[in-house]
């Protein structure tokens, strides 16, 4: 079940972006501020009109999919972590089951465990810290067991232990067949944990491929305009300035 963007052009945001995303893999979308990463993710989730282009889930245009089916198949975590309702955490995570029309305990429990928020399940959602809020909202996405997990900066508010445990969990989801697409600012996380990196620069794809190629030092210097060097072994790399 591929997710594909064809010739996505959205005024001032994306310019003829075409991608075919494979299930069972983790793709990182990287790029400087304003490059179009969130716009691309929103368009892939069917939340931003695709302009002259189109987004396809398998062979079906996403815009034509019934909303409930789209919500069942694509889980989307936006960049802004806002919780509108001050409900208990468990109820909020259960909202992930809405597209399925059930409140199955097993996927909700699995999501609470994956994000290490079992001890928060009775807390009011609006009483949480920033990182706890981020984990709860991601748990809601996971509870819906989507074929595609599209997450905008899911690691940004998390401490290092929760970052690594979430990355491990997303890898497990990919191994189980899900497609995982993450907007990441941390290039070392992209380098070490993704299978493929798409680099956006001012609305166009500047590089796309295996991590070591797409995040090659020269690409980073060209796109981000900073002198850097990778150190360490593959999958354990760190980025340092030169």
Residues within the interface to ligand ATP (CB under 6 A): 12-13, 31, 33-39
State the nearest-atom distance from the C-beta of 42 to ligand ATP, in Å: 8
Return the closest-CA partner of residue 62 out of 15, 21, 12. 21
State the nearest-atom distance from the C-beta of 205 to ligand ATP, in Å: 13
Q: Please, which residue, 23 or 32, has the CB nearer to ligand ATP?
A: 32
State the nearest-atom distance from the C-beta of 221 to ligand ATP, in Å: 18
CB 187 within 8 A of CB 231: no
Q: Please, which residue, 27 or 39, has the CB nearer to ligand ATP?
A: 39
State the nearest-atom distance from the C-beta of 116 to ligand ATP, in Å: 26
147 backbone dihedrals φ, ψ, rounded to 5°: -70, -30
> Packing angle between helix 160-175 and helix 130-143, nearest 10 degrees?
10
Q: Please, which residue, 49 or 176, has the CB nearer to ligand ATP?
A: 49
State the nearest-atom distance from the C-beta of 165 to ligand ATP, in Å: 24
Report the alpha-carbon distance of residue 191 to residue 221 in Å, rounded: 15
DSSP 8-state assignment for residue 23: T
Q: Please, which residue, 89 or 183, has the CB nearer to ligand ATP?
A: 183
Half-sphere exposure of 112 (CA within 13 A, CB side): 21
Q: Please, which residue, 33 or 218, has the CB nearer to ligand ATP?
A: 33
- At residue 29's C-alpha, the angle toward residues 23 and 31, to 5°, is 170
CB 31 within 8 A of CB 201: yes
């Amino acid at each position: 079940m591929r997710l594909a963007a064809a010739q996505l052009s959205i005024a001032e945001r994306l310019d003829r972006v075409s991608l075919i995303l494979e299930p069972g893999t983790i793709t990182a979308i990287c790029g400087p501020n304003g490059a179009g990463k969130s716009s691309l993710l929103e368009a892939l989730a069917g939340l931003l009109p695709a302009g002259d282009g189109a987004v396809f889930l398998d062979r079906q245009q996403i815009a034509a999919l019934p909303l409930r089916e789209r919500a069942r198949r694509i889980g989307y975590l936006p960049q802004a972590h806002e919780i509108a309702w001050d409900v208990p955490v468990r109820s909020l995570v259960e909202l992930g089951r809405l597209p399925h029309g059930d409140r199955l305990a097993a996927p909700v429990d699995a999501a609470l465990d994956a994000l290490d928020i079992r001890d928060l399940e009775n807390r009011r959602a609006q009483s949480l810290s920033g990182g706890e809020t981020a984990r709860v909202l991601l748990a809601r996405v996971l509870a819906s067991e989507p074929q595609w997990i599209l997450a905008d900066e899911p690691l940004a508010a998390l401490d290092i232990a929760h970052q690594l445990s979430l990355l491990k969990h997303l890898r497990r989801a990919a191994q189980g067949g899900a497609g995982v697409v993450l907007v990441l600012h941390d290039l070392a996380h992209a380098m070490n944990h993704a299978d493929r990196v798409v680099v956006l620069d001012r609305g166009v794809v500047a590089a796309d491929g295996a991590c070591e190629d797409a995040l090659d030092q020269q690409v980073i210097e060209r796109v981000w305009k900073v002198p850097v060097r990778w150190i360490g072994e593959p999958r354990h790399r760190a980025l340092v300035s030169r």
